[in-house]
Amino acid sequence: MSEREEPRGDGGTAEPSVTGGGGLAGTVERYVGAVTDPRRFVAFGGVGGVGLVVDNAALFALVETTGVGATLLKPLSAAAAIAVMFALNERYTFEPRDRSVGAVLRRYLKSNLVRAGGVLVALGVLFVLHDLFGLWYLAANVTGILVAFFINYAAESLFTWQVQDA
């Protein structure tokens, strides 16, 4: 067993602890710990709530002003929400140490790539619930966002902000 510092939810490190540290077990432990931090999960959920409002407001405005179908406009409303959520997550949820312009741009690009998977999930749910089953497009959109939330949280935590390495 090796001694290593354990990440804290506030971005710092706790006292060193003796854990299985190395190998697959240590890696899994770091990843699980990173995505089960309750403070970060609640903060991410709050930011997601803001994103849900931005996404639905943008989708409503686009659909109602253009008359184009919600499924076609969803990528645009998602892009608006992703930009807002990235800024909030960058500032309040993950608080990365490196705030240089290059580091922020790299994280923004990673975030967009990671969230593309969530957008595809949300878009698929929107298509099935709205286009196939006739559910109101905003209700279908909210459902898709909620389904994608858990995928986005895990992927953003592990890949965009790499909290397991904190």
Instruction: Evaluate whether residue 115 is within a structural domain.
Output: yes
Residues 137-165 pLDDT 10s? 999 999 999 999 988 888 888 888 777 66
Instruction: Evaluate whether residue 76 is within a structural domain.
Output: yes
First to last CA, the chain: 20
pLDDT at 23: 79
Least confident segment among 31-40, 64-73, 79-88: 31-40
> Beta strand 13-19 with 2-7: parallel, antiparallel or unpaired?
antiparallel
Q: How many domains does the chain have?
A: 1
- Is residue 39 within 8 A of residue 92, CB to CB? The reply is no
Residues 98-123 pLDDT 10s? 999 999 999 999 999 989 999 999 99
Instruction: Evaluate whether residue 32 is within a structural domain.
Output: no
pLDDT at 133: 98
Q: pTM of the predicted model, to two decimals?
A: 0.77
Instruction: Evaluate whether residue 153 is within a structural domain.
Output: yes
- Is residue 54 within 8 A of residue 69, CB to CB? The reply is no
DSSP element (H, E) containing 155: helix 137-155
Look-up of token digits 């949280």: 153
Instruction: Evaluate whether residue 1 is within a structural domain.
Output: no
Residue type, 41: F
**Structural domain boundaries enclosing 59:** 39-165
Instruction: Evaluate whether residue 21 is within a structural domain.
Output: no
Mean pLDDT of 9-28: 56
pLDDT at 16: 39
| Cα–Cα distance measured from residue 75 to residue 80, given in angstroms and rounded to the nearest whole number | 9
Instruction: Evaluate whether residue 22 is within a structural domain.
Output: no
Instruction: Evaluate whether residue 71 is within a structural domain.
Output: yes
